[in-house]
Structure 1
């Protein structure tokens, strides 16, 4: 039980009257009468507070949230009092979430309920719990209020932002994949398996005409191909401290997870299998899974990955990949390369290339690019521009050295990485490189 602002104002007024009574004797009687009356009203009003258990509630919360995306949470409040109750509700949101519209003030008539809806947004992935909501109920005259706990505890999970995956699925069903920026590549014979024979159509390549079937049917027959399936895509995310840097409100590691979800979704639809090997503080392994129905398994495996405070060891990553993945695979290494990575990265890549096709996907810091484009007005700006130019040059040389060793590379900003990586995967499939 606690006093309200109204009661504090009344007590303040009574104290002012007490000061006046000390100066003018005529105010003493008035001060005593108002004090007794105020005390009586306060005591009576205490008994109008709703008792424990008279206010109940329940919470409707989504089973999963997408990181950084707002979703609605509803708290329904009911009570058993025979008068309207003025309530102030504050839900027990997790520390990893942000909410708008709380605390919420509402008046609930007797025999009715109030549904309070607000939007919550998670800033950290993983499993989280909503604790019981705090409800402050006022007494009849509004002099006192007490606190009630309702709605209990609700569990939920914050997943990586899979909106690009959902958008790709919708566009793919509408046969408009190119709207997202993912380009359908022209298929080459090296990556195709024979599918079926069909009637010749205008525009078919002459090399695909099956002359034996044509001679038997006395009409042109073409061979139809489909892309090679049952290949393995191994995602190797860098979980070291370099991936904790923020880029556009999310860490670079979260941007990598978004790209991994999109490439996994596309690969599973292509008939390939997808596995995950973490390194740099996270020693987790998801053996390759296959089929569109396996996407939830990948989501549940990745949703609580976190970038650690440990350094990234590419040699360790290569050893784990070679130990865990015996079959030839497209190894997609997702990281943020630095100039000092040259020696260790070259050794790691050479070790994996003995069995696998390696693709190094690295994130460009958008903030650094924006600083490099800023006008130069002072000596400090010039020194900063020189340092950035040196950094970009070393980074470019590192990527060129990887390409000279026949390592595939993707160097994109965090926002463009998912689409760029998807296009590179389709290039690999179309070129028969795997």
Structure 2
């Protein structure tokens, strides 16, 4: 008996409408002491309210099959992207109901006011869609979904605790993979609003002889095929294939800096995953090396169908370290792993010229054997400070210092170029687009 009663009172809640009605009854009882003509009206209204409460209770509890709710959660979430989740509802009550939903999302989102309210007619179905944007990789624990149902009387609310705890892993950004793969096929990223980088030259890897169409380069006309066929034919060329593309990710404390909820390491990981995907679409071989105070994970370059999943699984587990990068260990890993000339894209960060100079000897040694592209980040906070007008003497001082640091970042690119090393200075939000563009440009220029 105790268990049955507990089943009811633990999931039964009083609504604001009931408290208002009780307040009205209390006021009438108080006024009846001073206003005689109220008579038995307060007793009548209070009795009617008790009857309605009992009726509301019966409406909510008399059926076994009441409402159906299901939360559709992806098997994995994409880090830094808006992930879509759905809550499916169906009403089996013979009357219209009002529902409120609390979804227990993982604590990492620090969101305690995720409340949805709607109404459903009898046998009506609804789907509620909402977005979650995780900013850290790892495991996220979803709790139960709390459903609060009210009948048309609206005096009581019945709670349903639906579902069980579910753990969902958050992987590096994979939702944008398909988008960038399509861009890579056409060698352009203009469709997403990014200015296309000028690419000089084209590959001389022969593909096929085809009919001339307007816009083809007249220098590629195949005169022998034209004479045989009796119509204008041209040679078609394609990018060279099976080139080795390695993403080298610095996991040291320099990559711990946050930007828009994500660390620089997470931006580098997301960009590396997308670049690897684009490289595989271009039929190149993608590989990965992570480095901090010692060599981390090493994935040799390959273009098997399982290569992208292998890289994703490795990147999922990577975390920021708190020591300086051992560039000697990186050089040894590169020499041991890379057996032919490759494009090495090194994701790191420099905050001063002196930090670059400390690593320059090792970068030069790597650049002797491979095409090295060093990718580092703009300090967007300093950049915004340098662009704001100064209002007082202190503002002038801050603006001058910010401009000095911003200019020093640009000098680092020139310093790298002096030693035959490519440099790419980019803001975190534009990292992926700029890196993919740079890769496509280098392929078009046949520099790999």
TM-score, normalization: structure 1?
A: 0.77
* Equivalent-residue separation in structure 1 for 2:190 and 2:48 (angstroms): 77
Q: Answer yes or no: is 1:333 the counterpart of 2:333.
A: no
- How many angstroms does 1:73 deviate by? 3.3
Q: Answer yes or no: is 1:141 the counterpart of 2:153.
A: yes
Unaligned ranges ≥5, structure 1: 214-220
- How many angstroms does 1:143 deviate by? 1.6
What are the equivalent positions in structure 2 for 1:188-227 lying under 5 Å apart? 203-204=218-219, 227=239
Match of 2:302 in 1: 289
* Cα-to-partner distance string for 1:273-306 (whole Å, 9 max, x where unaligned): 111222348933333231577445444544x366
- How many angstroms does 1:84 deviate by? 3.1
- How many angstroms does 1:344 deviate by? 3.6
What are the equivalent positions in structure 2 for 1:17-416 lying under 5 Å apart? 17-20=28-31, 31=42, 34-50=45-61, 54-63=66-75, 65-70=77-82, 72-96=84-108, 103-110=115-122, 112-126=123-137, 127-139=139-151, 141-152=153-164, 158-161=170-173, 165-171=177-183, 173=185, 181-187=196-202, 203-204=218-219, 227-247=239-259, 250-280=262-292, 283-290=296-303, 294-302=307-315, 304=316, 308=320, 310-315=322-327, 316-339=329-352, 340-353=354-367, 355-416=369-430
Q: Is the 8 A contact 2:383 2:403 kept in 1?
A: no
- How many angstroms does 1:312 deviate by? 4.4
Q: Answer yes or no: is 1:9 the counterpart of 2:15.
A: no
* Equivalent-residue separation in structure 2 for 1:47 and 1:199 (angstroms): 79
Unaligned ranges ≥5, structure 2: 1-11, 226-232
Moved more, 164-173 or 129-138: 164-173
- How many angstroms does 1:12 deviate by? 2.0
Distance change (3 Å), C-alpha of 1:11 and 1:311: farther
SS at match of 2:59: coil
TM-score, normalization: structure 2?
A: 0.75
CA RMSD between the two structures: 4.4
* Equivalent-residue separation in structure 1 for 2:157 and 2:330 (angstroms): 59
SS at match of 1:271: coil
Distance change (3 Å), C-alpha of 1:371 and 1:223: same
Match of 2:8 in 1: none
Count of residue correspondences: 423
